[in-house]
Amino acid sequence: MRDHRKLRAFELADQLVMSVYSATRTFPKDEIFGLTSQLRRAFISIASNIVEGCARNSEADFLRFLDMAFGSIREVEYQLTIAKRLEYTSTDAAEKLASQADETAIGRVKFEVDSLSFKLHLSRIER
């Protein structure tokens, strides 16, 4: 079992959750059960999948949950384009969140997935 608090990917994902809650406060009230809720749940899902993956005992399970976190990041990037096109958020705010999400995806989650995939591949070769 890993300590999720020691992973940079989790730190970035946790920051994203705080950022999206702040950004969605100004969304129209009629979106509270629509895009506001969807964005918040998707951002929380990123961090939650990292936490759950860390709690798993096998490398394969950890990798699977990191892969789900990566998918959720891509999901929120699309949802942010919707918020921007509907003018619920400024272009700057949407781009800042998308940039943070991208840093989390490419810089951290994908790094963890790639390095773990490589380790799993090596362990299969050594057998």
Higher pLDDT: 19 or 109? It is 19
Mean pLDDT of 70-99: 91
Of the ranges 32-41, 59-68, 115-124, which one carries the lowest mean pLDDT score?
A: 115-124
Q: For residue 80, give the amino acid letter.
A: L
What percent of the chain has pLDDT above 70? 83
Those residues whose C-beta lies under 8 Å from the C-beta of residue 96, and which sit 6 or more positions away, are: 19
Q: Give per-residue pLDDT as tens, 18-27.
A: 999 999 999 9
∠ CA(23), CA(69), CA(107), 5° rounding?
Answer: 80
CATH number of the domain where residue 76 is located: 1.20.1440.60
Residue 46's domain comprises 4-126
Q: What is the value of pTM for the model shown? A: 0.80
Number of domains in the chain: 1
